Amino acid sequence: MPTLVSKEYCTGCTACYNSCARNAIQMQLDEEGFLFPIVDSSLCVECGLCESSCPEMSLTKKNDSPSEVYAFWSNKDREVSSSGGAFSAFARFVLQKGGVVFGAMLDEEFMCRHIGIREESELAKLRGSKYFQSRLDVCYQEIKTLLKNGEYVLFSGTPCQVAGLKNFLRKEYDTLLLIDIVCHGVPSSSVFSSYSQKIANRYGNFENLTFRRLNGWGYKTSITIDGVPKYLYAEDDLFMEAFMKSSLLRESCYTCKYATTTRVSDCTIADFWGIGRHGKSFSHSTLKGVSLVLVNTKKGNDVFGQLQDVFVEKRTIEEALFGNPHLFRPSVRHEKRTEIIKAFLDQRKSLHDINQEFEIVNMSFKARMKRLSDRLGLFSLFKTIYNFYKKVIKNEKTYSIHF
């Protein structure tokens, strides 16, 4: 029987599952709703392929030279994306070459899964952050088949998913472009389902849920009921409040070895939370979002230089680090993480009960002001005033604020 990495370190990347030609590995949900590989010894022939493809056992190669750092937005995509629309600009480049783009979508049952698309009309499905772990299923196998047929492929996902794909493929392909995100960590799909059930118990069934303000810049969970968007605040937004406090994450996320400036992908994308905040001012409005792009490899650089209809400005790594701690350290485990996950999964507990028990909702002055300005529809105005205060009154060289 193979010895796979211990549960604490397994990221659920599926490289082992996709490698096993005997179908001796299944990905099964644990009691917290995370997928882990389970080996069926009656089918296993002890070939060792699963062990050698596991990125937690055989380390995935990272780029060794420092990445180039850019502030970036895509003019077409900025208002429909989480930050500056960097993902869409890369995706469009590959789709226009006739390639296939893999990314995470939310399906009708609110499951997050990776799919491959060939048409620009499908890009909207992949846009936007879904803040829980996506299912990869047999994506790695599909990608290998496409690459062997000489097709152009973009894979975008968390760094551990990119590392899993690289280890599974075992060789470089000129037609494969890898994009990873700077990653805070992932909650489980079961916790998210349980949360959405609690929201449905309160407001009735809803058609859609988004985690981000797409026509602005920031986190804002909203649901759509009968075509009308409804924003969720405080206890109603408890999933994101708990996510931000690192209390719902997979165990492996707290020791994540991808939370570094050396990356496994060709390009890394993130929110440029630190723009203008480390000695180099930024003379453009950030209200509609700015992407951070790290260009990590020569291939990444070649593609980056060909992206169309985009704003690009070279910035410093210090600025990138300033607002993005997960470029140098993993999330810190909340001391009540296990109890909070249990409470979310317990359908007898309402969001109010959970918040009463664990005091999750951020009650800082800034957070309360943000919620108030949001409810009054004055978010952009509040941001502009706050920027002015920081820039002129406090003399900070910035145009941006972040929550």
Ligand X SMILES: Cc1cc2nc3c(=O)[nH]c(=O)nc-3n(C[C@H](O)[C@H](O)[C@H](O)COP(=O)(O)OP(=O)(O)OC[C@H]3O[C@@H](n4cnc5c(N)ncnc54)[C@H](O)[C@@H]3O)c2cc1C
Residue 47 as a binder of ligand SF4 (CB under 6 A): the answer is yes
Closest CA to 249 of 337, 171, 356: 337
Closest CA to 308 of 97, 66, 122: 97
Site size for ligand SF4 (CB under 6 A):
38
* Partner whose footprint covers residue 112, from ligand SF4, ligand X, none (CB < 5 to 8 Å by kind): ligand X
Closest CA to 13 of 108, 192, 155, 171: 155
* Partner whose footprint covers residue 81, from ligand X, ligand SF4, none (CB < 5 to 8 Å by kind): ligand X
- Environment class of 233 (CB within 10 Å of its CB; exposed 0-12, middle 13-18, buried 19+): middle
List, in order, residues 6 or more apart from 260 with CB less than 8 Å away. Answer: 62, 327, 328
- DSSP states along 91-144: HHHHHHTT-EEEEEEE-TTS-EEEEEE--GGGHHHH-S---SPPB-TTHHHHHH
By beta-carbon proximity to ligand SF4, the closer residue of 16 and 94 is 16
Cβ neighbours of 279 (radius 10 Å): 10
Residue 16 as a binder of ligand SF4 (CB under 6 A): the answer is yes
Q: How far is the CB of 18 from ligand SF4 (least distance, A)?
A: 9
Question: Residue 172 and residue 176: Cα distance in Å, rounded?
Answer: 8
Binding mask 229-248 for ligand X (x = CB under 6 A): --------------------
Binding mask 186-215 for ligand X (x = CB under 6 A): x-----------------------------
Question: Phi and psi dihedrals of 246, rounded to 5?
Answer: 55, 40
Helix (H, G, I), strand (E, B) or coil at 282: coil
Residue 190 as a binder of ligand SF4 (CB under 6 A): the answer is no
Contact 131, 243 (CB under 8 A): yes
Q: Segment near ligand X (CB under 6 A), from 77-85, 234-242, 296-304, 379-387?
A: 77-85
Q: Segment near ligand X (CB under 6 A), from 27-35, 127-135, 192-200, 224-232?
A: 127-135
Out of 2, 12, 55, 84, the only residue in the binding site for ligand X (CB under 6 A) is: 84
Closest CA to 337 of 310, 358, 314, 367: 358
What's the token pair of residue 309?
């209809």
Q: How far is CA 42 from CA 26, 114, 185, in A?
A: 13, 30, 34
Binding mask 146-185 for ligand X (x = CB under 6 A): ----------xxx----------------------xxxx-
Cβ neighbours of 83 (radius 10 Å): 25
Q: How far is the CB of 27 from ligand SF4 (least distance, A)?
A: 7
Q: E strands within 158-296?
A: 176-181, 208-212, 219-225, 228-231, 267-271, 291-295
* Partner whose footprint covers residue 103, from ligand SF4, ligand X, none (CB < 5 to 8 Å by kind): ligand X
Residue 56 as a binder of ligand SF4 (CB under 6 A): the answer is yes
Q: What is the DSSP letter of 389?
A: I
Contact 94, 87 (CB under 8 A): no
Q: At residue 317, what is the residue type?
A: I
Q: How far is the CB of 214 from ligand X (least distance, A)?
A: 8
* Partner whose footprint covers residue 128, from ligand SF4, ligand X, none (CB < 5 to 8 Å by kind): ligand X
Out of 99, 159, 187, 276, the only residue in the binding site for ligand SF4 (CB under 6 A) is: 159
Out of 8, 31, 38, 45, the only residue in the binding site for ligand SF4 (CB under 6 A) is: 45
* Partner whose footprint covers residue 131, from ligand X, ligand SF4, none (CB < 5 to 8 Å by kind): ligand X
Closest CA to 250 of 319, 325, 192, 196: 192
Residue 53 as a binder of ligand X (CB under 6 A): the answer is no
* Partner whose footprint covers residue 157, from ligand X, ligand SF4, none (CB < 5 to 8 Å by kind): ligand X
Binding mask 317-346 for ligand X (x = CB under 6 A): -------x-x--------------------
Residue 115 as a binder of ligand SF4 (CB under 6 A): the answer is no
Q: Which residues make up the interface to ligand SF4 (CB under 6 A)?
A: 2, 4-5, 10-16, 19-20, 22, 24-25, 37, 39, 44-50, 54, 56, 158-160, 164, 183, 185-186, 250, 252-253, 256, 258
Q: Which residues make up the interface to ligand X (CB under 6 A)?
A: 81-88, 103-104, 112, 126-132, 134, 156-158, 181-184, 186, 269-271, 291, 324, 326
